[in-house]
Amino acid sequence: MARDYIKLKHGNPAYENYFVVNWCFFTICNFACTYCPTFLHDGKHRGLDINLVKNFCRKIIEMKPDKRVFFELTGGEITYYKHFSELMNFLKDNGADTGMISNGSRDLAFWEKHKHLIDHICLSFHPEQGDAEHFFQVVKLLNQETTVHVNIMMLPEKFDALYGLATRISSEIEGVSVAIQALFEGMSGKIFSYTDEQKNLLENPSLPMGTNILYRRATLAPKKVYRGEMKKVFSDGTEEVANPPELISKGENNWFGWKCSIGLENIVIDPGGNVLRGWCKVGGVIGNVSDENFRLPSNQVICSTKNCYCGLDIMAAKEVVVL
């Protein structure tokens, strides 16, 4: 039985130096994966006005003078925002760090032009429309300049080829972290139908990953990581590493009634520009990107939900309320 602990804190104190803005920017995508909910790629939200976006980003950077602000942009496929280059240059010119989740499908010339503006990129291979060789070349190119994490979306009928791609990336591109991802209908709900052998590989991947993550040649850019493992702190002061995916799979993702630092350590923004503390929605909408008088929260929130599912939400510090 799991021991009771009184705090969940960042596994690496360096993570505390960053304020994370996770922005689901719009719903334009060049792919239409069948397992992706339509509202994520229906094109209805086409991205806010660039000046509004810049004003808000500037405001957040000014409000957090003691932190480095990490803007993590998602969608849709964020590289199709019509002011993508302008926004990335603006963020870098204003001292922010930048990250994104992308399907990697833009051509090599596009990535060559933008790679110096990206501090961290999560590249997801979507097998229904993605081109494996192109994807491999994009990972290789970006890895020279920035921190790359790869997710391979494991469609059951293409499982072997996808596992081959994951193995190839992991063994041939130094310093990249690779994860194979089981698919869920509509990205939540029911897991796809996998054979026992496939399930076993998903739970215990034998990729050569990890062997090449820590050591990187000096010619490669150093790795930058903004959030990651957490640590449980027990009442006697002892600590234990806690991985967010593991906390979910073991059903240990319930901090109902605890004090939580979402809103203090991070915010999230939906495609309509609504700002929330976290994707769990605890604390409700705290403003909109267009609000002239937008203010960040100044205190923790008491958790009012029994399930904490989003990785970013889990990776905010939490502690038991002492009565």
User: How many residues are present in the chain?
Assistant: 323
CA–CA separation, 150 and 103 (whole Å): 10
Q: Is 31 in the site for ligand SF4 (CB under 6 A)?
A: yes
For residue 323, the tally of other CB atoms under 10 A from its CB is 3
Within 110-129, the residues that bind ligand SF4 by CB under 6 A are: 126
Output phi, psi for 13, to 5 deg: -55, -20
Residue type, 313: D
3-state secondary structure of 105: coil
Q: Is 50 in the site for ligand SF4 (CB under 6 A)?
A: no
Q: Is 20 in the site for ligand SF4 (CB under 6 A)?
A: no
Q: Among residues 151 and 290, whose Cβ is nearest to ligand SF4? A: 151
Q: How many residues bind ligand SF4 (CB under 6 A)?
A: 25
- String marking each residue 238-257 x if it binds ligand SF4 according to CB under 6 A: -----------------x--
**DSSP states of 16-40:** GGEEEEEEE-----S---TTS-GGG
Binding window for ligand SF4 (CB under 6 A); candidates: 54-62, 199-207, 240-248, 305-313: 305-313
Q: Retrieve residue 308's tokens.
A: 């904490």
Q: Is 32 in the site for ligand SF4 (CB under 6 A)?
A: yes
**DSSP states of 61-88:** HHH-TTSEEEEEEESS-GGGSTTHHHHH
Q: Among residues 8 and 96, whose Cβ is nearest to ligand SF4? A: 8
Q: Is 262 in the site for ligand SF4 (CB under 6 A)?
A: yes
Q: Contact 33/128 with Cβ under 8 angstroms?
A: yes
Q: Is 77 in the site for ligand SF4 (CB under 6 A)?
A: yes
Within 151-190, the residues that bind ligand SF4 by CB under 6 A are: none
Residues binding ligand SF4 (CB under 6 A): 29, 31-33, 36, 40-41, 75-77, 103, 126, 255, 260, 262, 278, 280, 282, 301, 303, 305, 308, 313, 316, 318
